């Protein structure tokens, strides 16, 4: 027996040597896996797909959008596969290839039934701000349950790849970068500086301190926000009632909270992105790095002025120029064809209801706070119990399960009463008990989107589905997003650069397909919660 064991030992030892010789570490002629030097993900916060074409004739020939459309690959029919279509959920879906029911990010905020409190998607009281004395840096990705494509890239390279996330919004920087990112940086609107948290670093790198020392926000304020072109040329926008007046000089050194709601927020973000590429030497060696960039300003502008405003149009015309400059920078710094870039959006936006009404299109606003107060008042008269509804958030009604239980009330009866009350509201098309979704008669696509967005510990009890063109809040103007409708869920998706052939497809694909497609191109594992499919037209 010992003789046979010895023979087996010699056989497997020899096999191991052969495997080692073929691994590439000994045989120098063994070809390596081809990967780009740098992966760049750009998410435009609140960009409907149609913005690619609404302003196409006005985009610069050497700008960003025409370059991506004419030299990259466009997935023209890319849809979000869940509700609510909100910022935190969208950024997370793009980079995890997953949906809220799996990755756990059910909104920008939610009521956490385990913690019995409102929670913000990236809040973390166990970390400290790095880069200022405010509390705006007490953030991390700990609420995120799945890995991101950046996490998988780091794992695939034994953490030799660098992953950096940048955005004005903390959630736009943190959630895309993932758990194992080298750093994520976001904007402190109290100081005008870029900050991070102790989750990533003990202190800011020199290159971040250097860009903060330039006080770029004040320099942008010096320019005021004036239109790029004569106001009469903005034919894709509703006429400005009071002209276009956005002075910024009076804010210098006083108010750093306004720049996100101007196109200069995008310019400022690209300044930081370029500084990160240089400062961290991203794409400078043989190991693939990743940079995630979220452009938050279109969302601030859209919420304030709406999709049909001159402000929105001017914002995208300026973004086009900034994007073109960024591509030029990457061509020079990393090399043409050496980086893989994709551009998408976290969600779209509804048209402003008052604007639609002017053109005979049915629309309106739903006042969730007033409705919540009225429901609680009526339920108290009926049951003697206070605050049976915690609130309406993310188009969902959160019932106070603790109060209902302590008062000895029947939750199903409360559920039914609230649903009947909501169905009497003019804005509401349907209401659905989320724990009974499988037995609900509902359009298949809408039902699937609701199921994909439902994570019981962080989701409400009752789902509101508004009539098309009706939105929650924004009673005095501006707009929002969050529904299943195409104006909220149809987003751009463009791939450009390394190994990408020019073209377009009208085949329906999902936002959740992006991460798996990048993983396939890089020959790495897809993220841990991924449910998407590889977009075959991209990897051919």
- Output the CA torsion 223→229→230→233 (10° steps): -150
Residue 147 near residue 527, CB atoms below 8 Å? yes
475: three-class secondary structure by DSSP: coil
Catalytic choice (78, 83, 85, 87)? 87
Decide if 87 is catalytic.
yes
Other CB atoms within a 10 A radius of the CB of residue 400 amount to: 22
Beta-strand (E) ranges in 127-268? 129-130, 163-167, 183-188, 193-197
- State the maximum Cα–Cα separation within the chain, in Å, rounded to a whole number: 96
Degrees to nearest 5, angle at CA 298 with 123 and 232: 160
Rounded CA-CA distance 321/331 in Å is 15
* CA atoms of 167 and 71, how far apart (whole Å): 26
User: Distance (Å, rounded) from C-alpha 297 to C-alpha 315?
Assistant: 8
* Rg of the chain, C-alpha, whole Å: 25
Q: What CA–CA distance (Å, rounded) separates 350 from 504?
A: 26
Going by the DSSP 8-state scheme, the letter that residue 35 receives in this structure is: -
Peptide bond before residue 127 is cis, with ω within 30 degrees of 0: no
Element (H, E) at 486: helix 486-489
The CA distances from residue 251 to 227, 242, 483, 510, in Å, are 19, 21, 36, 42
Single out the residue of 189, 176, 174, 173 nearest to residue 251, CA to CA. 189
- Tell me the C-alpha distance between 123 and 282, whole Å: 28
The number of residues making up the chain comes to 540
C-alpha 29: how far from chain center: 42
The count of other CB atoms within 10 Å of the CB of residue 343 is: 24
The 78-79 sheet, strands edge to edge: 490-491, 78-79, 509-510
Q: What is the C-alpha separation between 478 and 152, in angstroms, rounded?
A: 39
Provide the terminal-to-terminal Cα distance of the chain, rounded to the nearest Å: 53
Q: Report, as residue numbers or ranges, the catalytic residues.
A: 87
């Amino acid at each position: 027996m010992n003789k046979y064991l010895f023979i087996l030992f010699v056989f497997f030892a020899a096999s191991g040597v052969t495997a080692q010789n073929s691994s590439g570490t000994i045989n120098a002629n063994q070809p390596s896996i081809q990967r780009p030097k740098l992966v760049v993900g750009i998410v435009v916060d609140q960009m409907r797909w149609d913005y690619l074409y609404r302003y196409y004739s006005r985009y610069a020939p050497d700008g960003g959008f025409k370059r991506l459309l004419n030299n990259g690959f466009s997935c023209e029919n890319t849809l979000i596969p869940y509700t609510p279509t909100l910022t935190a959920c969208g950024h997370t879906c793009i980079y995890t290839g997953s949906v809220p029911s799996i990755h756990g990010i059910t909104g920008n905020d939610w009521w956490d039934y385990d913690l019995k409190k409102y929670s913000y998607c990236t809040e973390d009281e166990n970390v400290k701000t790095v880069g200022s004395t405010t509390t705006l840096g007490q953030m991390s990705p700990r609420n995120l349950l799945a890995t991101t494509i950046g996490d998988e890239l780091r794992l695939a390279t034994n953490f030799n790849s660098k992953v950096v996330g940048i955005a004005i919004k903390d959630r736009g920087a943190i959630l895309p970068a993932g758990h194992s990112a080298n750093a994520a940086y976001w904007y402190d609107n109290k100081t005008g500086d870029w900050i991070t948290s102790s989750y990533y670093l003990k202190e800011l790198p020199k290159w971040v301190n250097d860009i903060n020392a330039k006080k770029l926000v004040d320099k942008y304020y010096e320019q005021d926000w004036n239109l790029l072109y004569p106001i009469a040329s903005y034919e894709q926008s509703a006429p400005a009632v009071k002209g276009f007046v956005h002075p910024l000089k009076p804010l210098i050194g006083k108010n750093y909270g306004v720049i996100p709601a101007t196109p200069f927020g995008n310019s400022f973000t690209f300044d930081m992105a370029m500084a990160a590429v240089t400062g961290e030497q991203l794409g400078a060696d043989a190991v693939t790095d990743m940079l995630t960039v979220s452009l938050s300003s279109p969302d601030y502008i859209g919420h304030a002025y709406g999709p049909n405003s001159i402000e929105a149009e001017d914002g995208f015309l300026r973004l086009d120029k900034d994007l073109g400059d960024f591509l030029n920078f990457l061509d020079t710094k990393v090399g043409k064809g050496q980086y893989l870039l994709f551009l998408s959006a976290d969600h779209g936006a509804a048209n402003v209801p008052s604007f639609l009404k002017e053109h005979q299109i049915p629309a309106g606003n739903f006042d969730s706070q007033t409705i919540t107060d009225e429901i609680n008042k009526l339920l108290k008269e009926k049951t003697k119990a206070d605050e049976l509804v915690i609130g309406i958030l993310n188009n969902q009604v959160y019932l106070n399960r603790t109060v209902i239980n302590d008062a000895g009330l029947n939750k199903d009866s409360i559920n039914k009463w609230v649903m009947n009350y909501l169905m009497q509201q003019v804005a509401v098309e349907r209401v659905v008990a989320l724990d009974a979704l499988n037995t609900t008669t509902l359009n298949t696509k809408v039902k699937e989107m609701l199921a994909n967005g439902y994570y019981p510990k962080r989701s409400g009890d009752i789902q509101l589905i508004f009539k098309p063109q009706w939105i929650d809040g924004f009673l005095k103007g501006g707009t929002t997003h969050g529904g299943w409708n195409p104006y909220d869920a149809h987003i751009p998706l463009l791939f450009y650069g390394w190994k990408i052939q020019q073209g377009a497809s009208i085949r329906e694909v999902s936002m959740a397909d992006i991460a798996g497609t990048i993983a396939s191109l890089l020959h790495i594992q897809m993220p841990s919660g991924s449910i998407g499919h590889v977009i075959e037209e991209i990897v051919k």
